[in-house]
Amino acid sequence: MDLAVSTPDTGERIGLLRKIKAYIGLTKPRVIELLLVTTAPVMILAQHSLGGVSSIPNLWLVLGTLIGGTLSAGSANAFNCYIDRDIDRVMNRTKKRPLVTGELSDREALVFAWVTGVASILWLGLLINWVAAALSAFAIFYYVVVYTLLLKRRTPQNIVWGGAAGCMPVLIGWAGVTGSLSWAPVILFGIVFLWTPPHYWPLSMKYRSDYQSVHVPMLAVVRGRTVVGLQVILYAWATIACSLLLVPIANMGLVYVAVAIVAGGWFLYESHHLYGRAIRHGDIKPMRVFHSSITYLTLIFVAVGVDPLVHIPLPF
């Protein structure tokens, strides 16, 4: 059986597995991994907020929500790759994406984006609830239209407001369990929202020339590294403050508080170190902040999920 297919641009025959890999690459799986890290722990906290014997939500419900969230994020990222295919062909950072290499055609990418987007909404609506489905639809619309089409190429604040799309898995996870929203998921939304700029701006510092070459006005392109470093600090502090707001709102215990303080302290240290090197005109390493921000968010949300299970009340 011939399982080879042709690339649309060159007619080169490629294997079916390579084609599947190209479709997976279109969804930006590393981004999806980070989004799903925030979903499952929030579902545990949501179940805990309902009271009852167990803080563990139904595992099929969790799996179903994660699948729906994966489809939703994959659709948004595929639309993003389709819309940005012109600049992706110029930037070194994106030169291996499937629309650049020719492993997928523009039509294949667009059909895939629509199919996965519709599938995510129907999946969540029919198997989870329609509140989660509506949030999924809004997340796709916001990332594609508001961020990719309207903000990304027009304003250095693109990441600030566009980052709201990356916060939606938190709301989807909560709604998946409770069927509604409350103040706790709003605070969790705020943590991810405020975290996004100090997470992404260091990456844009590293790839400043890439963004400059395609006239995308990332903050690192239109402002000096000192300004970027200061903004990273301000948003990092705001993120830590927001994370501590969850303590009284969701009655978090000692595990969460300890992680929020220790991990937050490390995140702040790396942010201040970046700024300090920038104002002294030293050799900066922005990817240290980028990687520490990923570790920080992962630890915070692991603590969100673990704390209700081993709840140790605060001594004050």
Query: What digits encode the pLDDT tens for the residues 57-96?
Result: 999 999 999 999 999 999 999 999 999 999 999 999 899 9
- The pLDDT of residue 1 is 36
Lowest mean pLDDT among 16-20, 60-64, 131-135, 304-308: 16-20
**Per-residue buried b or exposed e for 139-166, using 16+ beta carbons within 10 Å of the residue's own CB:** bbebbbebbbeebbeebbebbbbbbbbb
What is the tens place of the pLDDT at every residue in 51-61?
865 678 999 99
DSSP secondary structure code for residue 14 in this structure: E
- Identify the structural domains of the chain with CATH numbers, from first to last: 1-178 (1.10.357.140), 182-316 (1.20.120)
Longest dimension (CA), the chain: 69
Q: What is the pTM of this model?
A: 0.92
List the helix and strand counts (H, then E) for the chain: 15, 2
Percent of the chain scoring above 90 in pLDDT:
80
pLDDT range class, residue 243, cuts 50, 70, 90 = very high
Residue 285 dihedral angles phi and psi, to the nearest 5°? -125, 80
Beta strands in the chain (DSSP E): 5-6, 13-14
Q: Mean pLDDT score of the chain, rounded to an integer? A: 91
Predicted pLDDT at 3: 45
The one-letter amino acid code at 218 reads M
- pLDDT higher than threshold 50 for residue 141: yes
Highest mean pLDDT among 34-38, 222-226, 266-270: 266-270
* Structure tokens that stand for 284 in this block: 């900066």
Closest by CA position to 40, among listed 312, 289, 308, 240: 308
Asked if 31 and 147 count as a contact pair (C-beta separation under 8 A), the reply is: no
- Supply angle C-alpha 111, 115, 120, rounded to 5: 150
Alpha-carbon distance of 263 to 13, in angstroms, equals 48
Residue 42 tokens, joined: 């929030």
Q: Is the pLDDT of residue 249 over 90?
A: yes
Rounded to whole angstroms, the Cα distance separating 65 from 27 reads: 17
pLDDT tens-digit series, residues 278-310: 888 777 888 999 999 999 999 999 999 999 999
- On whether the CB atoms of residues 304 and 42 are closer than 8 A, the answer is yes
Are 260 and 240 in contact by the 8 Å Cβ rule? The answer is: yes
